[in-house]
């Protein structure tokens, strides 16, 4: 569960030697954690990472238990602070934590608590937290005042969900009043890979809180282009947060408070930070606004450690994981494509075509291993097992693509071949920050899909080092499933316990490091080989014809009719009649033809 480029942070405090402290902060976007231990100069971060969301009110107990089991098991103290955890919920959260860490001292509560600790330590001031939701919390001495943070139905104004809902409402209101489509509407549709306003409405009606909140990024992107609608939404969001901040300061009698900003909306998008600063300055010109220097998960660890002084820290970067990536063959420069920008269109095309020879050579070199992969997949499916493709980025999208083609092509159940994508469905059409970096998230995905001993899991990683993929394979192996790893990096560091490893030596890319090119092409062919070969072995093909296809559109119905006409020795009209009588079940229509033929 170690991130590829971890930070090392040192806290100055006095604690028993060797004590390990786990800090966890969970919200609507992610679960962030950090593990610290005693060092000669204080507490030192030894590991950290992120897992899927863990809002206490929106996440089932079983789901929380599964997430917690992917966190480090060895800890003497555990601080877990989750969004949605009220005062009445703390005992339930503590009991759940005690199941996972029975010997640890547990501190549990709301993400407000960890945010306050991270931003202020024991000091006075106000914390404005804007992520999926939003809240304002202030402290002066022993007194704490709050505003916002009532949940996405009643409150959370100024958070990502709020901004996204405002965007949806504005789009529809603008259409109702003025008709036609705006550029802002087009931006939203593009970001969600939707084609019409009606599709957008259906999507919004079925999307959950976290999915809707992801639209905030598109609002910020539009605002940077001076889109009036996006700027209006941002002004509304930051206006509410500045009003809450003023109200909390007034109740605490803080005239020139320290105001610390937390959360993804402030950290990633300076447009939101600048808008909030501008709004607050008009209301409280003497307020001192700054970004939090510590993350909420560090605040959670701070609370679990029961420190008496605010923690100070330094950061040392470690590049070990990146050095491994830098040695990958796919990351090397291709001498044949240097000066790419100087080529004409014709020369560029010729270069791409010439480079494809390396794809074919890589596949031929791995032919025996690919054949073994087909046999393993076919054997698993024959025993009612399932094939899972696991990947991130291009690799994950290719796996999801191949899996999605199996039901219409071969008539197999959608459960037979499944894709697991780092970052979930949103990552299919847009980048999800850091999704591939977490081994624990990969293991959790395997757990939640219910992978069993009869199944086979194929990890896809051009570099062969993607943590999400390796974590998934390790968890699958623990469950007794067979495992394969498909890479394009023969120079990688070999792992242990993987049943079949296939390295497609496609070489350096035309565009350095862009593995959607040759590596992606070779990977797509390999996945085609696995799934098609297995379906052939399972009797889903007659000759070279798809006798199991599902005729779900005009093109496929036409193909089915031609197939029945050829195999059933009848004309096109009779083939259509047979298919219609059998509810367009291709196998049934072919069986009817055989029965008729036998009786003639």
Q: Which residue spans within 52-184 are E strands per DSSP?
A: 77-82, 105-110, 125-130, 134-140, 143-148
Q: Which of 291, 307, 326 is the last residue of a domain?
A: 291
Q: Which of 258, 282, 317 is the last residue of a domain?
A: 317
Are 227 and 374 found together in one domain?
no
pLDDT digits (tens, 9 = 90+) for 114-131: 999 999 988 999 999 998
Residues 473-491 have a mean pLDDT of 95
CA pseudo-torsion sign 444, 449, 455, 457: negative
- Would you say 125 and 258 are in contact if contact means Cβ atoms under 8 Å apart? yes
Q: Which of 360, 344, 424 is nearest to 390 (CA)?
A: 424
Are 462 and 496 found together in one domain?
yes
Is residue 436 flagged as an active site residue?
Answer: yes
Are 403 and 504 found together in one domain?
yes
pLDDT digits (tens, 9 = 90+) for 139-185: 999 999 999 887 777 767 899 999 999 999 988 888 888 877 788 88
Overall number of domains in the chain: 4
Query: Three-class SS of residue 77?
Result: strand
pLDDT given for residue 592 in this prediction: 74
pLDDT digits (tens, 9 = 90+) for 378-437: 999 999 999 999 999 999 999 999 999 999 888 889 999 999 999 888 788 777 667 788
pLDDT digits (tens, 9 = 90+) for 205-235: 888 888 888 889 889 988 888 888 899 999 9
Are 260 and 350 found together in one domain?
no
Instruction: Give the CATH number, domain containing residue 470.
Output: 3.40.50.10490
Instruction: Give the CATH number, domain containing residue 234.
Output: 3.30.420.40
Are 114 and 141 found together in one domain?
no
Are 229 and 357 found together in one domain?
no
Task: Choose the catalytic residue: 436, 438, 505, 509.
Answer: 436
Are 524 and 581 found together in one domain?
no
**325 in any annotated domain:** no
Is residue 316 flagged as an active site residue?
Answer: no
pLDDT digits (tens, 9 = 90+) for 533-562: 999 999 888 888 887 788 888 888 898 899
**330 in any annotated domain:** no
Comparison of pLDDT for 138 and 567, the residue scoring more: 138
pLDDT digits (tens, 9 = 90+) for 41-100: 667 888 999 999 898 988 899 999 999 999 999 999 999 999 888 888 999 999 999 999
**395 in any annotated domain:** yes
Residue numbers of the domain that contains 561: 554-599
What ranges in 269-382 are assigned the alpha helix state H? 270-283, 296-305, 320-326, 345-365, 367-382
Query: Three-class SS of residue 387?
Result: strand
Task: Choose the catalytic residue: 145, 331, 405, 577.
Answer: 405
Are 243 and 165 found together in one domain?
yes
Q: From residue 414, give the alpha-carbon distance in Å to each of 271, 375, 386, 392, 457.
A: 43, 21, 10, 21, 16
Q: How far apart are CA 205 and CA 411, in angstroms?
A: 30
Are 393 and 449 found together in one domain?
yes
Confidence of residue 323 (pLDDT cuts 50, 70, 90): low
Q: From residue 540, give the alpha-carbon distance in Å to each of 323, 372, 544, 557.
A: 45, 19, 10, 17
Q: Which of 47, 16, 10, 15 is nearest to 32 (CA)?
A: 47
Q: Which of 10, 395, 426 is nearest to 217 (CA)?
A: 426
**191 in any annotated domain:** yes
How big is the chain, counted in residues?
600
Q: How far apart are CA 595 and CA 597, in angstroms?
A: 5
**Which two tokens mark 144?**
């704490």
Burial 457-496 (b: 16+ CB within 10 A, else e): bbbbbbbbbbbbbbbbbbbbbeeebbbbbbbbbbebeeee
Give the range with max mean pLDDT: 24-28, 153-157, 312-316, 476-480: 476-480
**Which two tokens mark 271?**
């447009």
**547 in any annotated domain:** no
Is the confidence at residue 4, as pLDDT, over 50?
Answer: no
**Which two tokens mark 59?**
């996440």
Are 406 and 273 found together in one domain?
no
- Would you say 484 and 458 are in contact if contact means Cβ atoms under 8 Å apart? yes
Q: Which of 486, 505, 537 is the last residue of a domain?
A: 537
Centre a 10 Å sphere on the Cβ of residue 38 and count the other Cβ atoms it contains: 20
Confidence of residue 12 (pLDDT cuts 50, 70, 90): very low
Q: From residue 27, give the alpha-carbon distance in Å to each of 82, 344, 391.
A: 6, 50, 25
Are 287 and 302 found together in one domain?
no
The DSSP code sequence of 231-291 is HHHHHHHHHHHHHHHHHHHHHHT-SS-EEEEESHHHHH-HHHHHHHHHHHHHH-TT-EEEE
**542 in any annotated domain:** no
Is the confidence at residue 271, as pLDDT, over 50?
Answer: yes
Residues 238-258 have a mean pLDDT of 95
Are 222 and 370 found together in one domain?
no
Q: Which of 429, 420, 431 is nearest to 396 (CA)?
A: 420
**253 in any annotated domain:** yes
Confidence of residue 322 (pLDDT cuts 50, 70, 90): low
**358 in any annotated domain:** yes
């Amino acid at each position: 569960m170690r991130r590829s480029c971890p930070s090392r942070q040192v806290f100055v405090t006095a604690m028993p030697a060797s004590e390990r402290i786990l800090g966890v902060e969970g919200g609507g976007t992610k679960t962030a954690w950090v593990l610290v231990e005693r060092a000669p100069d204080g507490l030192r971060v030894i590991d950290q990472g992120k897992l899927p969301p863990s809002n206490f009110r929106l996440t089932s107990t079983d789901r929380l238990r599964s997430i917690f089991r992917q966190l480090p098991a060895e800890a003497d103290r555990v601080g877990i602070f989750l969004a949605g955890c009220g005062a009445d919920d703390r005992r339930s959260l503590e009991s759940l934590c005690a199941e996972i860490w029975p010997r640890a001292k547990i501190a549990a509560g709301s993400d407000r608590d960890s945010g306050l600790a991270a931003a202020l330590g024991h000091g006075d001031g106000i914390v404005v937290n804007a992520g999926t939701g939003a809240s304002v919390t202030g402290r002066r001495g022993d007194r704490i005042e709050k505003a916002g943070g009532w949940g996405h139905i009643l409150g959370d104004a100024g958070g990502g969900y709020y901004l996204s809902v405002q965007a949806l409402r504005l789009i529809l209101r603008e259409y109702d009043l003025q008709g036609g489509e705006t550029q802002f509407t087009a931006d939203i549709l593009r970001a969600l890979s939707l084609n019409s306003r009606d599709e957008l409405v259906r999507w919004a009606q079925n999307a959950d809180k976290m999915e809707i909140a992801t639209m905030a990024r598109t609002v910020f992107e539009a605002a940077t282009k001076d889109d009036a609608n996006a700027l209006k939404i941002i002004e509304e969001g930051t206006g509410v947060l500045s009003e809450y901040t003023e109200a909390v300061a007034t109740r605490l009698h803080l005239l020139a408070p320290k105001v610390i900003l937390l959360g993804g909306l402030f950290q990633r998008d300076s447009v939101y930070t600048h808008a909030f600063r501008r709004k607050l300055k008009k209301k409280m010109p003497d307020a001192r606004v700054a970004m939090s220097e510590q993350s909420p998960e560090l605040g959670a660890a701070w609370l679990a450690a029961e420190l008496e002084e605010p923690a100070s820290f330094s950061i040392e970067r470690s590049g070990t994981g990146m050095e491994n990536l830098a040695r990958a063959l796919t990351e090397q420069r291709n001498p044949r494509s240097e000066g790419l920008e100087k080529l004409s269109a014709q020369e560029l095309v010729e270069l791409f075509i010439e480079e494809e020879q390396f794809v074919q050579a890589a596949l031929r070199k791995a032919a025996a291993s690919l054949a073994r992969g087909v046999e393993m997949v076919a054997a698993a499916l024959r025993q009612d097992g399932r094939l899972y493709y696991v990947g991130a980025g291009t690799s994950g999208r290719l796996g999801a693509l191949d899996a999605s083609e199996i039901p219409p092509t071969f008539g197999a159940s959608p459960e037979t071949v499944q894709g697991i994508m780092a970052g979930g469905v949103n990552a299919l059409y847009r980048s999800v920050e850091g999704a591939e970096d977490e081994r624990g998230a990969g293991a959790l995905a395997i757990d939640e899909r219910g992978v069993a001993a009869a199944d086979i899991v194929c990890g896809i990683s051009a570099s062969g080092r993607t943590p999400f993929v390796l974590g998934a394979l390790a968890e699958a192996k623990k469950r007794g499933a067979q495992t394969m790893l498909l890479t394009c990096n023969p120079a990688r560091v070999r792992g242990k316990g993987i049943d079949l490893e296939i390295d497609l030596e496609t070489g350096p890319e035309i565009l350095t490091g862009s593995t959607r090119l040759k590596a992606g092409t070779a990977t797509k062919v390999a996945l085609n080989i696995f799934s098609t070969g297995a379906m052939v072995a399972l009797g889903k093909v007659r000759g070279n014809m798809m006798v199991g296809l599902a005729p779900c559109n005009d093109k496929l119905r036409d193909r089915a009719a031609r197939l029945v006409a050829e195999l059933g020795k009848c004309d096109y009209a009779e083939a259509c009649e047979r298919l219609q009588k059998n509810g367009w079940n291709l196998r049934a229509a072919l069986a009817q033809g055989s029965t008729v033929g036998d009786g003639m």
